[in-house]
Structure 1
Amino acid sequence: MNNVIETILQHRSVRRFEDKPLDREQIEMIVKSAQASSTSSFIQAYSIIGVSDKQKKQRLAELAGNQSYVAENGHFFVFCADLYRHKMIGDLENADLSDSLESTEKFMVALIDTALAAQNAAIAAESMGLGICYIGGIRNDLEAVKKVLKTPEYVVPLFGLAVGYPDQETDLKPRLPLEHVYMENEYEQDQNVLEQQLKEYNKTTSDYYLERTGGKRADTWTGQMAMMLGRKSRMYMKEFVEDQHLNKK
C-alpha cells in the first residue's frame, strides 16, 4: 500500500480546527490539485470560491445550520457547478449555446466535474496533514448564498469544503461492505443477498456507535437512512436550478 492509498483510506471528517489560517501556498496547491482532476471533454464546468472574509464565513455558517466549523477553520472553499463562462464563450464566438447549456446532460457534466475536482482537493489537503469536512448545508438557502458569494446565472454553489489543522481526534466510520458496492459484470439480482449484506452492515454500524458513545447509541444504517430520507429536504432545488438556466431541457 502506498502513501496515496493510505491517505484515502484514512479519510474522516474533521469538525474542529485550530485557529490557524492556511497560507497562500497551501491554498494554491489545493486548488491546483482540484484543477488536475478529470473533466468531461475538457469543459471544466466548475469554479471554486475561497472564503476568507470572517463576516462572509459567519453568514455561511448560519445558512448551513449554524455549523461553527464553517466559520472556524483554516480556509473555506465553496465548489460551484459553473457554466457561466461557457455562456460567455457563446457570446465571444457568436454562437447560440443555450440549448446545450440548459440541458440535463450539461448540468450533469457540471455536477460531475465539480465533484471530481473537490475530491482531488480533499485528498490533496489530507495528504498535507490537514483535515477536511464537506458542507452540504450551504444548499439550505442558495438564494442567500448567492447574495453572499455574488454568483451569476448558470452557477450553482453545490457544497463547501472546510479545511484546516485538526483540533480533534475522530473515528474512522465503517463503510458499506465492498461486495455490496462492487459487483462484477451486472447488478446483483438476488434481493435476499442484498438484504443480508445490509443486515450485516447494520450490525457493524450499531457496534460502531455503541463503542463510540459508550453504549448510548446503537443506530443502524438502514434506520438512519429511513429517517433521513423520510424527511423532505431542500425541495426548492429544482426551481432554483432552473432559475439559473440549468437542467431545463
Structure 2
Amino acid sequence: MSNSELAYPQTDEGERLGALLYDRYRAELELDVAWNATLDTLLAHRSVRAYTAEAVPDGAIELAVAAAQSAASSSNLQPWSVVAVADPARKARLAALAGNQKQILQAPLFLLWIVDHNRLTRIGAHVGTPAAALHYLESFLLGAVDTSLAAQNAVVALESIGLGTCYIGGIRNKPAEVAAELGLPPQSFALFGLTVGVPDPAAPASVKPRLPQEAVLFRETYGQADAPAAVTAYDHRLRSFQREQAMPERDWTEQASQRVRGAESLAGRDVLRDVLNHLGFALK
C-alpha cells in the first residue's frame, strides 16, 4: 500500500485524485478538477522493471500502435516506425547492447521506437522530389519529437489495459549495432526501447515523486525565484522515497549533476552525432 492510500482513504473520486497527486509529489496539491479514468492512468504511471511470464494479450501491440498514431505529428510527416521484438534470443542480444538491463530479458515484449527518415526518402524518390531537408538538424529533431509523442501515447494505452512498461534509453549506447540487429535501413535510428508486460505482483513498482511544480512551472516568463528551495525540498522527499523502497539514498541534485558532468557520463553516447552520420542522417 502506498503512502497516499494511507493518507487518503479512497471514499470518493476527489480523494482518489488527491491520493494520486500526493504520490506524485509527496506533498499536498489541491486541484478543483473532477477525477476521471484518463487522469488515473496518467498520474499513476510508474516504470515497471519486473514482469510475470504471462504473454502480452492479443491485440495489445496493435492497440499501442493505434494510440501512437493518434498522437500529434508535425506536418503529418509521421517520421517514425516501431519494431516489436518477442524472440528471446534477439531480446538477449539487444539487452547486451543496452547495458545488460534484465527487464529486457524478462519482459515478453520489447518495442523499439525508430526515427524513420528512410520512408520519407523513399517516398521522395518515388514521386521525383529530393528529400534534402531531412539532413538538417531540425528534421532529426522533428523525428525525435514525433517518435516520443507516439511512444508516450502507446504507454498510456498499454497501462490503461493493465500492462506495465519501462523506457530503455540504453538502446542508444550502441546505435549502429542495434540498427544491424534490427535490420534498419539507412536514415533510421532506434531512439529508445520500451519493455512491455504484465507487472509482477511480487515486485510492485511505486510511483517515484517528481520535482515540485514550483521548480518547473512559470507564468508568463521563465523565473527561478523559488526553484532552489523547491529543489532542496525535492531532495528530502526523494530520500524519503528511497528509504521506503530500500534503495540507496542519494540527493537528486547529486544524481542529476553527475549524470550531466561530461562526455564520460554519457555511456558512449558522446559520439552519437558521428554514428548518426554513419547511419545516413548526414546532419547539418
TM-score by length of structure 1 reads: 0.94
Partner of 1:128: 161
Query: Which consecutive unaligned segments of at least 5 residues does structure 1 have?
Result: none
Match of 2:64, SS?
Answer: helix
Q: Which amino acid aligns with 2:146?
A: D
Q: Kindly indicate whether the alpha-carbon contact (under 8 Å) linking 1:12 and 1:171 is maintained by their aligned counterparts in 2.
A: yes
SS in 2 for 1:169: coil
Correspondences of 1:193-208 after superposition (within 5 Å): 193-208=226-241
Letter of the structure 1 residue corresponding to residue 73 of structure 2: T
Match of 1:157 in 2: 190
Partner Cα distance (2:224, 2:155) in 1: 35
Contact 1:20–1:73 under 8 Å retained in 2: no
Structure ranking higher on relative contact order (CA contacts 8 Å, 6+ apart): 1
Q: Deviations over 1:51-96 (max 9, x none)?
A: 1122111100111111121122131100011111100111011111
Aligned partners of 1:146, 1:246: CA distance in 2, in Å? Answer: 13
Cα offset, 1:189, TM superposition: 4.8
**2:257 maps to 1:223:** no
Structure 2: segments with no counterpart, 5+ residues: 1-34
SS at match of 2:59: helix
1:87-126 equivalences in 2 (<5 Å): 87-98=121-132, 100-126=133-159
- The equivalent of 2:26 in structure 1 is none
Across the aligned residues of Structure 1 and Structure 2, the Cα RMSD in angstroms comes to: 1.3
Distance 1:194 1:26 in 2: 41
Question: If the length of structure 2 is used for normalisation, what is the TM-score?
Answer: 0.83
The aligned counterpart of 1:55 is 89
Does residue 184 (structure 1) correspond to residue 219 (structure 2)? The answer is yes
- Aligned residue pair count: 244
Mapped to 2, the partners of 1:186 and 1:59 lie a distance apart of 47
Per-residue deviation, residues 186-213 of structure 1 (Å, max 9, x unmatched): 10053xx221111111111122112222
**What SS is found at the alignment partner of 1:236?**
helix
Secondary structure of 2:174's partner? helix
Q: What secondary structure sits across from 2:111 in the alignment? A: strand
Quote the residue 1:13 is aligned against: 47
What is the rounded CA distance, in whole Å, between the counterparts of 1:189 and 1:227 in structure 2? Answer: 22
Give the aligned partner of residue 71 of structure 1: 105
SS of 1:60's equivalent?
A: helix
1:239 is matched with which residue? 274
Residue by residue over 1:111-155, the C-alpha shift from the partner in whole angstroms, topping out at 9 and shown as x without a partner, is 000000000000000000000000111111111101110101110
- For 2:252, give the aligned amino acid: W
Moved more, 68-77 or 7-16: 68-77
**Amino acid aligned to 2:198:** Y
Check whether the contact 2:215–2:224 (CA below 8 A) recurs between aligned residues.
no
